[in-house]
Structure 1
Amino acid sequence: MEKIKIGIIGYGNLGKGAEKAVKLSKDMELVGIFTRRNKSEIDSDSNIYNISELEEFKGDIDVCILCGGSATDLWKQGPEIAKNFNTVDSFDTHAKIPEYFSQIDGSAKSGNNLSLISTGWDPGLFSIHRLFSQSIMPVGETYTFWGKGVSQGHGDAIRQIEGVKDAVQYTIPVEKVISEIQSGNILDLTTRDKHIRECYVVVEEEADKNKIENEIKSMPNYFSDYDTYVNFVSEDELKLNHSGMPHGGRVLRIGKTSENIKQIYEFKLDLGSNPEFTSAINVAYARAVYRLNKEGTKGAISVFDVPVSYLSIISPEEQRRLLL
């Protein structure tokens, strides 16, 4: 079997999840993990390289899986790496996706490469189900709810604030609103009506907590549109009570297929590990990127542009026999 050669960029929670997923994929080979950390800090039996060595592997890696954060890492790494490699990333700042797509598209095309942006489960799987349900029922309303769970991107955004040592952020849906929609009621909801955001933050000893709290609550694209609660805790408390990575959510669409027939479309996830599931999706899409690039596809694409059959290790014939 021809092996797809994978490079993992970054070794935080997503990078560790990608490493596990690649090792479970018998059609893939992990060339190496590329990180800014010292090699001595990495507890892994995979090949470890400094990020500065990545370009030396041009031609030896089929797809790079970018596991940095959306707040800062991907803005810089995405366009740079797309010039030399096919890439997959899980950029998740929804409001900035068109701008990010444009930057990646130019970089990938300049190097005759293919880059899939914003995969994972939202954006990613949830995006697909929003499109599916809207296409099937063009008359209706779609609602997306996340949690209760840890949002990696939002936690990463808090950790970029000066004076913050560590942070965990929970996205919590308003269950009363979900129940009303599941009953078939179409509601006019603001962003603030659907979720609250609860933050647990460890700060440096001399940090200004009031300043940090205000900076969190006013952060655009992440917290400013939500009722946000900031709790300052010790490192021990954060480790003891907030070290897990559960998450989940659902896409709901209430629509009509005729004047008097109301239909409810729902897709739901309940995840024991947000980063491992996100990484597993990224790895499946790396397989698709490899295949599409072999066919000549270049530039930036999204999950909307990928045939679902390209995600699977099994042949189209087996897919039709076993799954259709």
Structure 2
Amino acid sequence: MKDEIRIGIVGYGRLGRGVELSVAQQPDMTLAGIYSRRSPGKLTALSAETPVESVAALEKGDAPVDVLILCGGSRDDLPHQSPRYARQYNIVDSYDHHARIPEHLAAVDEAAQVAQRSAIISSGWDPGLFSLQRLIGEAFLPEGKTYTFWGEGVSQGHSDVIRRLPGVAGAVQYTIPLESAIEAVEGGEQPELTAGESHRRECYVVLAPGADAEAVREAIVSMPDYFEPYQTQVHFITQAQLEAEHAEIPHGGYVIRSAETGGGASQLIQTRLALGSNPEFTASVLVAYARAAYRLCERGDFGAKTVFDIAPVLLSAKDPAELYRELL
């Protein structure tokens, strides 16, 4: 294996900048380039040595990168970008439309198999780390129920879909778990919870000039999968308020497996995340999976995979023998 894995970033929003920060922490990686749909002259990387180019530079398939980390949105970007770039490069994405992950996986796998490239989709913390916790909980404790609570925090994906609606100039969305639901699960009750009984959503929206507020509100609260099943409140604010009061991007949540083992003993597995920056943490997970994608390609393991398919040893910059000594 060569000394450094060359990483390319596609999309230079908050997630892309998080990837840039994370790559700088890695002992075996270098940032080979940032690729954006915006004019490269309008973007400034953290390091003056990092090339900033148009995404058009990727079209020939000869960009000097080992893995592209795709930092676009799951609704309008990744369904097209991931299969497209997997035809030419190893890729990692954070596709988070849970209901459509199987079809996204199939599309990316077809492209990567033909091109003999490796791709890892839907990495991040949910889907991603939380997905692993759900699988582990069910595997270890088959008789029980699994609960996932998100927040309180900013959902990048949900905020992004609001910002793309007609009439919206800016937006942020907070996912807030209902304390009554968490308390019931932690108490071992194993309740049946609908989406609306688990969380609520708070949306803060800046309207574009001339936009119809009621039309925007209705478009948000009736959006399938993202908002329609939940208690959703929409608040209209100014751009100044958005910048002053909603600039930070915290998030977190819980995965709880409540179960009984064969002798009737009550068992609870709980994983919690408390994130000061959602995009920086998500980016850090993507970067680790980029290392795995590179290693898979190096050994000829082509096609698209999810976090379920990746051995943890592939994520670490450390040698396996070192991991066995230090962490096992």
Task: State TM-score, norm by structure 2.
Answer: 0.97
Give, in angstroms, the shift of residue 109 of structure 1: 1.1
User: Which of 113, 118, 128 in structure 2 is aligned with 1:124?
Assistant: 128
Please give the secondary structure, in 2, of the residue aligned with 1:252: strand
Q: Does 1:157 align with 2:161?
A: yes
Give, in angstroms, the shift of residue 40 of structure 1: 2.4
Worse-matched range after superposition: 13-22 or 38-47:
38-47
Match of 1:200 in 2: 204
User: Which of 223, 232, 237 in structure 1 is aligned with 2:227?
Assistant: 223
Cα deviation code 1:126-152 (max 9, x no counterpart):
000000000000010000000000000
Q: What amino acid does structure 2 have at the position aligned with 1:164? A: V
Please give the secondary structure, in 2, of the residue aligned with 1:33: strand
Q: Counterparts in 2 of 1:160-309, with a 5 A limit?
A: 160-309=164-313
User: Which of 98, 104, 107 in structure 1 is aligned with 2:108?
Assistant: 104
Give, in angstroms, the shift of residue 260 of structure 1: 1.9
Match of 1:85 in 2: 89
Please give the secondary structure, in 1, of the residue aligned with 2:282: helix
Runs of 4+ that moved beyond 3 A:
none
Give, in angstroms, the shift of residue 59 of structure 1: 6.3
Q: Does 1:13 align with 2:14?
A: yes
Mapped to 2, the partners of 1:238 and 1:246 lie a distance apart of 15
Worse-matched range after superposition: 51-60 or 113-122:
51-60
Give, in angstroms, the shift of residue 57 of structure 1: 5.4
Give, in angstroms, the shift of residue 60 of structure 1: 2.5
Mapped to 2, the partners of 1:80 and 1:310 lie a distance apart of 25
Mapped to 2, the partners of 1:36 and 1:29 lie a distance apart of 22
User: Which of 67, 86, 94 in structure 1 is aligned with 2:71?
Assistant: 67
Worse-matched range after superposition: 269-278 or 17-26:
17-26
Please give the secondary structure, in 2, of the residue aligned with 1:258: coil
Give % identity. 46
Give, in angstroms, the shift of residue 257 of structure 1: 1.1
Please give the secondary structure, in 2, of the residue aligned with 1:237: helix
RMSD across aligned positions (CA) = 1.0
Give, in angstroms, the shift of residue 174 of structure 1: 0.2
Give, in angstroms, the shift of residue 56 of structure 1: 4.3
Match of 1:37 in 2: 38
Mapped to 2, the partners of 1:138 and 1:59 lie a distance apart of 47
Worse-matched range after superposition: 290-299 or 192-201:
290-299
Please give the secondary structure, in 2, of the residue aligned with 1:230: strand
Please tell me whether the aligned partners of residues 61 and 89 of structure 2 are also in contact (alpha carbons under 8 angstroms): no
Give the count of matched residue pairs.
324
Mapped to 2, the partners of 1:80 and 1:279 lie a distance apart of 21
Give, in angstroms, the shift of residue 58 of structure 1: 2.3
Mapped to 2, the partners of 1:58 and 1:182 lie a distance apart of 52
Give, in angstroms, the shift of residue 256 of structure 1: 1.1
Give, in angstroms, the shift of residue 259 of structure 1: 3.8
Q: What amino acid does structure 2 have at the position aligned with 1:48? A: V
Mapped to 1, the partners of 2:60 and 2:3 lie a distance apart of 22
Please give the secondary structure, in 2, of the residue aligned with 1:25: coil
Mapped to 2, the partners of 1:58 and 1:254 lie a distance apart of 50
Match of 1:323 in 2: 327
Cα deviation code 1:167-226 (max 9, x no counterpart):
000000001110111111110111110000000000112000100000000111100110
